[in-house]
């Protein structure tokens, strides 16, 4: 029996895919089809897939050509699969010609001509693009605009004050303006992705979330960390029980880039520490331990009391069976790490953890430690844009940061703004 193996993403399965699989099957007696996983596709630059891994696997299975379907998850797996399944022929489309010649050492390599005039990329490109405008700080907006070019199905559009020419708006104005800017965009029928916090008061945040729901619009926080593959995987690992019960989460985010002690810097135009870093620092706490804590306590160092500008703030949360701490600063420097403590071990994410591409599980016996590495492009912003565009297309709220977490972030910042803190 001659075994044939081929690989592909098979996003939005079309006639070209089917013809290629038919020709692959004709090369032998038994066809194995490898469908690339979402994570592996990200490492290859394919970040805007329209279908999940399971949807793509089911689509390949439904056409009935493959005798066996496997999932491709890592670089070098092709050699492992060829050996494991005793493959005789490896085949792939001719647009990859020469790329896999190294596999000739293990089996015969055949490049098949592709069906002209049809591809998943072309199909995605033909769909109407989501037009996104930006308002706010030049630095953040420039990054967002730059990352949009890596995502199919979206395009940047100047939005003006009336947002008339866009479908959605990225908002990166000063936090004091978020509520008014988000509300105006929603009332004009625009989807919104807003730098966190969405509003400085929990009541206003919930009002905006309800307004978006009533109008059938998407409103979500733009916390790019939530969309990185490594970060999402560490949440899964932490919740899986690998480190036992979680009893502590310690999150640190600091930066000195704004030079807040420089007398020439106008602090009223800058975000204070709790607004700039608080949402990111609180994100893993709320995602791992939830928002139903028993109590919270804020300790802060104020640089300018006239505008309540904090140089350093520590927020402690007490849960029924766990504790958590978020430390944020724009006038102090500390190791920006994330540590999740469990009863069996702990997860360590080195600085800057908010740009997560690597983390470790550590145990009492170092021989049991495990390291995880994942690709991170564009600081996670392009993944954030992909998720936002998919939410708009599907009409379903984004599941990366749920509404209760958005509200709790606003609630904590409102507590700070009400001077409910201990000053040092």
Structure tokens at 268: 């009223």
Most confident range (mean pLDDT) of 54-58, 230-234, 413-417 is 413-417
Mean pLDDT computed over 44-50? 56
pLDDT digits (tens, 9 = 90+) for 145-159: 999 988 878 999 998
| C-alpha distance from residue 302 to each of 254, 255, 276, 417 (Å) | 15, 16, 15, 12
Mean pLDDT computed over 117-145? 77
Say if residue 122's pLDDT is above 60: no
The whole-number pLDDT of residue 50 equals 67
Say if residue 119's pLDDT is above 80: no
Say if residue 387's pLDDT is above 90: no
Mean pLDDT computed over 361-368? 96
Say if residue 49's pLDDT is above 80: no
Alpha carbon distance 164, 161 (integer Å): 8
Task: Indicate whether this model's pTM tops 0.85.
Answer: no
The whole-number pLDDT of residue 423 equals 95
Residue 424, Cβ neighbours under 10 Å: how many?
10
The whole-number pLDDT of residue 81 equals 94
DSSP bridge pairs for 171 = 135, 194
Say if residue 217's pLDDT is above 90: yes
Confidence band, pLDDT 50/70/90 cuts, at residue 118: low
Q: Length of the chain, please?
A: 424
pLDDT digits (tens, 9 = 90+) for 275-291: 999 999 999 999 999 99
pLDDT digits (tens, 9 = 90+) for 242-275: 999 999 999 999 999 888 778 788 888 889 999 9
| C-alpha distance from residue 67 to each of 6, 25, 62, 80 (Å) | 12, 9, 11, 19
pLDDT digits (tens, 9 = 90+) for 9-29: 888 788 888 999 999 999 999
Per cent of the chain over pLDDT 70 is: 94
Mean pLDDT computed over 294-320? 95
Say if residue 241's pLDDT is above 80: yes
The whole-number pLDDT of residue 12 equals 79
Mean pLDDT computed over 131-150? 93
Most confident range (mean pLDDT) of 38-52, 112-126, 301-315, 334-348 is 334-348
Alpha carbon distance 136, 185 (integer Å): 13
Confidence band, pLDDT 50/70/90 cuts, at residue 117: low
Q: Which residues, at least 6 apart from 324, have a Cβ–Cβ distance to it below 8 Å?
A: 248, 249, 250, 251, 285, 289, 293, 316, 317
Mean pLDDT, the chain, integer: 90
Say if residue 330's pLDDT is above 70: yes
The whole-number pLDDT of residue 194 equals 97
The whole-number pLDDT of residue 40 equals 54
The domains located in the chain, with CATH, are 3-121 (3.40.50.620), 123-224 (3.40.50.720), 229-375 (3.30.360.10)
Is the Cα dihedral 48, 53, 55, 61 positive or negative?
Answer: positive
Structure tokens at 84: 């494991």
Say if residue 341's pLDDT is above 90: yes
């Amino acid at each position: 029996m001659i075994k044939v193996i081929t690989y592909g993403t098979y996003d939005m399965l079309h006639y070209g895919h089917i013809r290629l699989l038919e020709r692959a099957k004709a090369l032998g007696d038994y066809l194995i089809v490898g469908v690339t996983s979402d994570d592996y596709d990200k490492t290859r630059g394919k970040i805007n897939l329209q279908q999940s891994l399971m949807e793509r696997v089911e689509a390949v299975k439904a056409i009935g050509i493959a005798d066996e379907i496997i999932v491709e998850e890592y670089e070098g797996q092709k050699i492992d699969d060829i050996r494991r399944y005793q493959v005789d022929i490896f085949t792939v489309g001719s647009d990859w010609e020469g790329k896999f010649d190294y596999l000739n050492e293990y089996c015969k390599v055949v490049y098949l001509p592709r069906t002209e005039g049809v591809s998943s990329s072309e199909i995605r490109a033909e769909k109407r693009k989501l037009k996104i405008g930006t308002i706010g700080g030049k630095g953040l907006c420039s990054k967002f605009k730059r990352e949009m070019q890596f995502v199919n199905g979206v395009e940047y559009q100047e939005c003006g004050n009336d947002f008339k020419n866009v479908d959605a708006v990225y908002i990166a104005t000063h936090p004091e303006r978020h509520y008014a800017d988000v509300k105006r965009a929603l009332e004009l029928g625009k989807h919104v992705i807003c730098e966190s916090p969405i509003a400085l008061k929990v009541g206003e945040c919930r009002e905006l979330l309800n307004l978006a729901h009533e109008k059938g619009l998407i409103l979500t926080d733009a916390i790019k960390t939530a969309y990185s593959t490594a970060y999402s995987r560490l949440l899964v690992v932490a919740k899986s029980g690998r480190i036992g019960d979680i009893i502590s989460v310690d999150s640190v985010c600091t930066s000195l880039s704004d030079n807040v002690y420089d007398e020439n810097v106008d602090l009223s135009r800058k975000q204070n520490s709790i607004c700039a870093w608080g949402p990111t620092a609180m994100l893993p706490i709320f995602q791992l331990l939830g928002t139903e804590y028993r109590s919270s306590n804020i300790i802060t160092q104020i640089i300018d009391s006239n505008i309540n500008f904090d140089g350093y703030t520590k927020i402690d949360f007490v849960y029924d069976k766990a504790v958590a701490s978020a430390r944020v600063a724009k006038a102090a420097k500390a190791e920006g790490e994330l540590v999740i403590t469990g009863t069996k071990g702990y997860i360590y994410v080195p600085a800057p953890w908010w740009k997560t591409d690597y983390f470790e599980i550590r145990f009492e016996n170092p021989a049991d430690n495990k390291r995880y590495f994942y690709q991170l492009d564009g600081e996670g912003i392009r993944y954030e844009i992909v998720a936002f565009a998919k939410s708009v297309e599907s009409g379903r709220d984004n599941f990366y940061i749920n509404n209760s977490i958005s509200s709790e972030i606003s609630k904590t910042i409102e507590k700070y703004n009400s001077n409910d803190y201990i000053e040092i």
